Structure 1
């Protein structure tokens, strides 16, 4: 089916019930086995917290299986990744984007209520079957207050790019996704950040933040042109500086999202 942060994902059929599940397992050389074991343990623990009672917009841990020194995480199936839809040329209408964003932000809000931060919200880690969106791949997730692991830099807010912790970076990453869905391009690219192979960013903090704010202003104007003022206002709120960035609860009250039905847990 695909790959995650630490391994591969395949579809299996469960004996007895006949239900189909996704099985995620480690795949790496011996030099990384200790690291992978810790990552697997972290993802299992995080998903265990999030699966009780669970949320319709998060993949749910159904169980674990150990065989021949390999640990499998068994999860409910979702649709193809959102990135695969985008790569195939799928374009979403503003109404469809509103539905996707409401589901994504609802999932982020539930994680936040459980003191969990995903740290890796992007199209690769979102599953979409044409109706329901599910957040997946919790390999980089942490409990609130714990230092974030290595992240995908062009989905990260300025405070993380400056080496600081962030308590609401998932909302910034969701805003980056909103740009991709509505405008068909990234808010900030690795090339614009001048990121090299060692993830070193030679831009000064001031130059980088000025560039990001300029990109946000331009994106908001284009979002307003294609999806209306409410969509642009939501985007601006999600890309504020950390202390004033809107929470999932505040975002769900946005007129761009509030009219949509809420999926029950």
Structure 2
């Protein structure tokens, strides 16, 4: 039996089950992906005759045991329900593996962009962005941070968009404590995390959301750095080098020995984003606000003029 602690307050118990229960109920179809801790397969639930996504996680009890990311994902998803957040249907815990059964979605946004190189319609971008923001607004209202917003963690099922992969998610309390900065994939990581600023909140998800919206327009990551310093250079090149008035808590940003000075309002970048219009561009700039305290919230973003249809 695994005893799972969430926020050092709540315990979730996962009793051991026979691995044959999983094999008898779910018939594997195709592999959807593979990571450090296991694989994800499309499978058929024989009882309901429906497709599911089966995540098989290695459980090496002699070494590290079940990865904390899998346990964290279970703890978070068992407590929340939203139409734009992937559903965790069941969990099986055997001696060798941990099985997480999720609702099945056709593809993810990363694969969708790769398979659809043509420009996406403004309606698609608006519709997908609104659903992602709705999920974030729900999570943030329950004091949950996703901490890894990126296209491969956004699932598509017809017209419905769902946030997935909650392995880095966590609940936060008040007052906000210091948390690890080793979260969020680099190309979607806000400047405060790159600068190791370990007191943060929902703004880190909003920055990632902005990067995802920009990627839907550009069909490539907007900030593609290969190191922390290079990532900041890529951000400053497009958004401009922040001044102390923009971000007084992180003076390191203004160190001319480290960074060149880049002016605001990159004309080339603005031209590339012309398809979303002035309202869309304005919303992105609110998401890419350097000062996380001034960054737009998910709930405020949903009320932005960009989502008001003409």
Shift of 1:46: 1.1
What SS does the corresponding residue of 2:76 show, helix, strand or coil?
A: helix
Query: Is the Cα–Cα contact under 8 Å of residues 7 and 28 in structure 1 kept in the other structure?
Result: no
2-side partners of 1:142 and 1:78: how far apart? 24
**Relative contact order, higher structure (CA 8 A, sep 6+):** 1
Per-residue displacement from partner, 1:94-136 (whole Å, max 9, x unpaired)? 1110111001111111111221111111111111134111111
Q: Answer yes or no: is 1:159 the counterpart of 2:192.
A: yes
Higher helix proportion, which one? 1
Structure 2 residues without counterparts, runs of 5 or longer: 1-31, 241-261
Query: Is the Cα–Cα contact under 8 Å of residues 279 and 305 in structure 2 kept in the other structure?
Result: yes
The residue that corresponds to 2:67 in the other structure is: 37
Per-residue displacement from partner, 1:22-64 (whole Å, max 9, x unpaired)? 1112148888643x432221111011122xxx11111011110
TM-score (norm 1): 0.83
When structure 1 is superposed on structure 2, of 98-107 and 223-232 the one drifting more is 223-232
2-side partners of 1:7 and 1:236: how far apart? 38
Which of 123, 146, 164 lines up with 1:118 in the alignment? 146
2-side partners of 1:25 and 1:87: how far apart? 26
RMSD, matched Cα: 2.7
> Number of matched residues?
247
Q: Answer yes or no: is 1:237 the counterpart of 2:272.
A: no
Shift of 1:211: 3.2
Question: Which runs of structure 2 are paired with 1:1-265 in the superposition (5 Å)?
Answer: 1-3=32-34, 6-27=37-58, 33-34=64-65, 36-50=66-80, 54-90=81-117, 91-144=119-172, 145=176, 147-148=179-180, 149-164=182-197, 165-167=199-201, 168-191=203-226, 195=227, 201-202=228-229, 210-211=236-237, 213-214=239-240, 217-218=265-266, 221-222=270-271, 225-240=274-289, 241-259=291-309
Query: Is the Cα–Cα contact under 8 Å of residues 186 and 231 in structure 2 kept in the other structure?
Result: no
TM-score (norm 2): 0.71
2-side partners of 1:142 and 1:212: how far apart? 31
2-side partners of 1:170 and 1:5: how far apart? 24
The residue that corresponds to 2:9 in the other structure is: none
Rg (Cα) greater in structure: 2
Query: Is the Cα–Cα contact under 8 Å of residues 89 and 101 in structure 2 kept in the other structure?
Result: yes
What SS does the corresponding residue of 1:217 show, helix, strand or coil?
A: coil
When structure 1 is superposed on structure 2, of 153-162 and 65-74 the one drifting more is 65-74
Higher strand proportion, which one? 2
Structure 1 residues without counterparts, runs of 5 or longer: 196-200, 261-265
When structure 1 is superposed on structure 2, of 94-103 and 139-148 the one drifting more is 139-148
